[in-house]
Amino acid sequence: MSNGLHFRPTRAEIDTDALRHNATMARKHAGHCKLMGVIKANGYGHGAVEVAHAINGSVDAYGVAFIDEALKLRDAGFIQPIVLLEGCFSEAELPVCAHYNLQPVVHQQAQLDAILNARLVKPLAVWLKADTGMHRLGFAPEQIEAVSKQLENCPQVGSVTVMTHFANADRHQHPLNERQLDRFNEVCARTTPARTLSAANTAALLSSALDLGDKASQWCRTGIMLYGVDPTEQQEALPLLPAMRLLAPVMAVREVAAGEAVGYGSQWVATRPSRIATLAIGYADGYPRHAPNGTPVWLNGVEVPLAGTVSMDMITVDVTDLEHLEVGDEAELWGPNLAVAKVAEAIRTITYELLTRVSERVPRHYK
Ligand SMILES: *Cc1c(COP(=O)(O)O)cnc(C)c1O
């Protein structure tokens, strides 16, 4: 931005106190578990470096998807262990992992071969992933014993943490949870000696239905909870604080006669004389284009419905029932007044997608 000038009022306010509070809550829930703060995808859209700062005191390691995300944290001066949840994509990454103390997940044969054949200055801490039923990444349970032996006998490897990932941890009654946990416990019983394990994401950590066993030997990997969202269906709300407040100003207001349509495709039609406010946020900012009519937007103390197709830079909302409204008033797309979970439900997506897709052109303001 030339001369550092910066005017756009549309913004995402990031509450670093809320991040800190949520990390403390995660720490409490984790008990004697070690805690990995998952800050992949730019800290779920909140800014990885800023999130890493905010949660620093509560977590024992950071988790990211791939090495570039980890190096950004090293460049910013963080010295904590960082786990690469997708592992390495090429053998060229291994010396970089060793040098920067990055801990790759090993989930398939090519990654294993690369480590076994590498010549490294320092041994790696690796995470061995078992596929206990999600069928996305990981070695088959019956392979784990042999693979972990190979890793343990390899001079390039300093430690091995066996891990797995649940497919349905957010649904406490889902039968696959028990099956995955049983398979994982079998795998862990067969790998010797007893070592640290990691199965739980946020949902599994919060699930009372999943008995993860002795916590002292475990790592919990928690992401979404840090940002203020409980991903489970439990009734009792956790005292988490939303960390992101997405805001856009009203940039125009107009009266629309009954029978007139609003926006691309004319797919919202006024059934009465209506007032329409246009807000300066659109799908290029990460507000989903497929958000249907009626999706709630918080404006001047009430929820108003989206009216018309989401444009690239703008949306339109029906403010007929709003008493006070002026150009320049600010709408909250989600945040403390309108839970991102409620918006996600209306849009038929999940909170993770809404948060991570807030695009680069939306400035983050930290407080
Ligand atoms: C992203 C991720 C997590 C964090 O999941 P949340 O539901 O956000 O807590 C944990 N484990 C793995 C392997 C992941 O990829």
Name the band, by pLDDT with cuts 50, 70 and 90, for residue 3: confident
* Active site (annotated) includes residue 129: no
**Residues paired with residue 331 on neighbouring β-strands, in sequence order:** 248, 299
Task: State pLDDT tens for residues 286-296.
Answer: 999 999 999 99
Residues 6+ apart with CB under 8 A from 5: none
Note if the pTM is more than 0.85.
yes
On whether the CB atoms of residues 361 and 10 are closer than 8 A, the answer is no
Residue 224 near ligand 1, beta carbon < 6 Å? yes
Residue limits of CATH 2.40.37.10 in the chain: 244-366
Q: What is the pLDDT of residue 132?
A: 96
- Ligand 1: atom nearest CA of 163 is 13
- Marked catalytic residue, from 40, 44, 62, 129: 40
Task: State pLDDT tens for residues 85-138.
Answer: 999 999 999 999 999 999 999 999 999 999 999 999 999 999 999 999 999 999
* Active site (annotated) includes residue 287: no
Residue 85 near ligand 1, beta carbon < 6 Å? yes
- Please tell me the residue having the least CA distance from ligand 1 atom 14: 85
- Ligand 1: atom nearest CA of 165 is 13
Residue 107 near ligand 1, beta carbon < 6 Å? no
Fold of 32-227: TIM Barrel (3.20.20)
Residue limits of CATH 3.20.20.10 in the chain: 32-227
Q: What is the pLDDT of residue 212?
A: 76
Residue 22 near ligand 1, beta carbon < 6 Å? no
Residue 221 near ligand 1, beta carbon < 6 Å? yes
Mean per-residue pLDDT of the chain: 95
Determine whether 364 is exposed, middle or buried from the number of CB atoms within 10 Å of its CB (0-12, 13-18, 19+).
middle
CA angle 208, 209, 215 (to 5 degrees): 60
Best mutation site among 221, 222, 238, 355 for ligand 1 pocket (most ligand atoms within 8 Å of CB): 221
**Residues paired with residue 279 on neighbouring β-strands, in sequence order:** 250, 315
Average pLDDT value for residue range 180-206: 86
CA of 199 from ligand 1 middle (Å) equals: 10
Residue 326 CB neighbours (<10 A): 9
On whether the CB atoms of residues 155 and 130 are closer than 8 A, the answer is no
Three-state DSSP string of 224-282? HHHHCCCCCCCCCCCCCCCCEEEEEEEEEEEEECCCCEECHHHCEECCCCEEEEEECCC
Annotated binding-site residues read 136, 312
Which one-letter DSSP state was computed for residue 336? T
Q: Which of 221, 162, 223 is nearest to 189 (CA)?
A: 162
Residue 222 near ligand 1, beta carbon < 6 Å? yes
Residue 201 near ligand 1, beta carbon < 6 Å? yes
- Ligand 1: atom nearest CA of 221 is 10
Name the band, by pLDDT with cuts 50, 70 and 90, for residue 192: low
For residue 362, give both structure tokens: 């939306």
Can you tell me the distance from the alpha carbon of 351 to that of 258, in angstroms, rounded to the nearest whole number?
Answer: 35
CATH class name, domain 244-366: mainly beta
Q: What is the pLDDT of residue 234?
A: 75
Residues 6+ apart with CB under 8 A from 320: 272, 273, 274, 275
Average pLDDT value for residue range 17-22: 98
For residue 297, give both structure tokens: 């937007």
For residue 35, give both structure tokens: 């805690």
CA of 166 from ligand 1 middle (Å) equals: 9
pLDDT over 60 at 243, yes or no: yes
Q: Which of 98, 116, 96 is nearest to 106 (CA)?
A: 116
On whether the CB atoms of residues 338 and 228 are closer than 8 A, the answer is no
Annotated binding-site residues for substrate read 136, 312
Q: Which of 130, 38, 27 is nearest to 82 (CA)?
A: 38
Which amino acid does the sequence have at 131? Answer: D
Name the band, by pLDDT with cuts 50, 70 and 90, for residue 81: very high
Least confident residue range of 70-84, 229-243, 264-278: 229-243
- Ligand 1: atom nearest CA of 202 is 9
Q: What is the pLDDT of residue 215?
A: 75
Q: Which of 328, 332, 335 is nearest to 45 (CA)?
A: 335
CA of 201 from ligand 1 middle (Å) equals: 5
Strand boundaries in the chain, DSSP class E: 11-14, 34-38, 61-64, 82-84, 102-106, 124-129, 157-163, 197-200, 218-222, 244-256, 261-262, 268-269, 274-279, 296-299, 302-305, 315-318, 330-334, 364-366
pLDDT over 60 at 155, yes or no: yes
Q: What is the pLDDT of residue 194?
A: 58
